[in-house]
Structure 1
Amino acid sequence: MTVKSFDKDLENLTLTLTAEFPAPVDKVWQLWADPRRLERWWGPPSYPTTFVEYDLTPGGDARYFMTGPEGDKHHGYWRISTVEPPAGLEFTEGFTHADGTPDDAMPSMNVRVRLVAREGGTRMEMRSQFDSRAQMEQMFAMGVEEGLTTAVGQMDALLTEL
């Protein structure tokens, strides 16, 4: 299994996913940097993702939607703050309405991704920071642990194509 741990820290309002891949950092980075590759793993297998905008530069935005098994669409965004290829990136992630405007009733989080070379491959750490415990609990009620774990679990197969 790619995902090694999924830790939630209610005191510090963070959740951290750690995964390891038998591939070099630059290949893992390609799965973040190329929106067509990102679409193939960002989201659980039963909720494929389509990126309609993708500007991976500081200050840039990414907009996407996931399509559920019943054809329902769930829209989201990233507001990119830091990009350090191939070591990582940081962004604010949240939900939007279909027209792209932020959905303030839904949680948002700051996400930091770090890719570090290790013997035999790459260690990836994704740390999400929430503004409140209520936001964090709302994400867990929505199934973030299972969703993110299964999403990241799709990366191994994609890395064999590079």
Structure 2
Amino acid sequence: MTFVSSSKDTENLTLTVVAEFAAGRERVWQVWEDARQLERWWGPPGYPATFVRHEFVPGGRSHYYMTGPDGERGYGWWEVTSVEAPDRLEFLDGFANEDGSPVDPEDTSTTVVTLDEAGSTTRMTLVATFRSLEQLQRMAEMGMEEGLREATGQIDAILAEPALK
């Protein structure tokens, strides 16, 4: 099973999601690095993501949108702050306008993704840190925890395909 656990820590303003995959760390890294693979799982089922821009380098920007079942779009952006392939990724995350610009440059969270390999499996730990308890609660009410759990559940099918060269 892919999903291992999720937890909210209101004292430290974090949401943590842990998943395990029957694949090596380099292969799991590709589902973050490659925009076409990323967009196949970043949105939960029924809300596929489209990455218009994905600059996977420190200082790089990503702009994406998720399309809901009724065709409505929700836009987001990332600013990549650290890339330590294939072990660790860090980025700022926020809501975007249609052109990819932040709706509110102060309404961001910081996400750190770590990949730890143990034998033939890789554990992915995603920790989102929020600026305030109100922001954490708002994102929880929007279904972020469940959305991430469902989204990570889509990764196994991608990993079953051949790795990128």
What is the TM-score normalised by the length of structure 1? 0.96
Identity %: 49
| Whole-Å separation in 1 of the counterparts to 2:134 and 2:143 | 14
The equivalent of 1:144 in structure 2 is 144
CA contact (8 A) 1:107 1:139 kept: no
The equivalent of 1:117 in structure 2 is 117
Alignment size in residue pairs: 162
> Is the partner of 2:57 in helix, strand or coil?
coil
Distance 1:105 1:53, change over 3 A: closer
What is the TM-score normalised by the length of structure 2? 0.95
Measured after TM superposition, the shift of residue 120 of structure 1 is: 2.8
> Is the partner of 1:151 in helix, strand or coil?
helix
| Whole-Å separation in 1 of the counterparts to 2:130 and 2:158 | 29
Structure 2: which amino acid aligns with 1:16?
T
The equivalent of 1:19 in structure 2 is 19
The equivalent of 1:32 in structure 2 is 32
The answer to whether structure 1 residue 3 and structure 2 residue 3 are counterparts is yes
| Whole-Å separation in 1 of the counterparts to 2:81 and 2:121 | 26
Query: Any gaps of 5 or more consecutive residues in structure 1?
Result: none
| Whole-Å separation in 1 of the counterparts to 2:92 and 2:47 | 21
* Shift >6 Å, 4+ stretches: none
Measured after TM superposition, the shift of residue 71 of structure 1 is: 0.4
Over aligned residue pairs, what C-alpha RMSD do you find?
A: 1.3
Where does 1:69-80 land on structure 2 (aligned, <5 Å)?
69-80=69-80
The equivalent of 1:154 in structure 2 is 154
Structure 2: which amino acid aligns with 1:9?
D
The equivalent of 1:85 in structure 2 is 85
The equivalent of 2:108 in structure 1 is 108
Structure 1: which amino acid aligns with 2:40?
R
Measured after TM superposition, the shift of residue 106 of structure 1 is: 8.8
The equivalent of 1:134 in structure 2 is 134
CA contact (8 A) 2:64 2:100 kept: no
> Is the partner of 1:94 in helix, strand or coil?
strand
Query: Any gaps of 5 or more consecutive residues in structure 2?
Result: none
| Whole-Å separation in 1 of the counterparts to 2:46 and 2:105 | 24
Per-residue Cα deviation, 1:2-47 (whole angstroms, up to 9, x for no partner): 1101011000000110111110000000111100000100010100
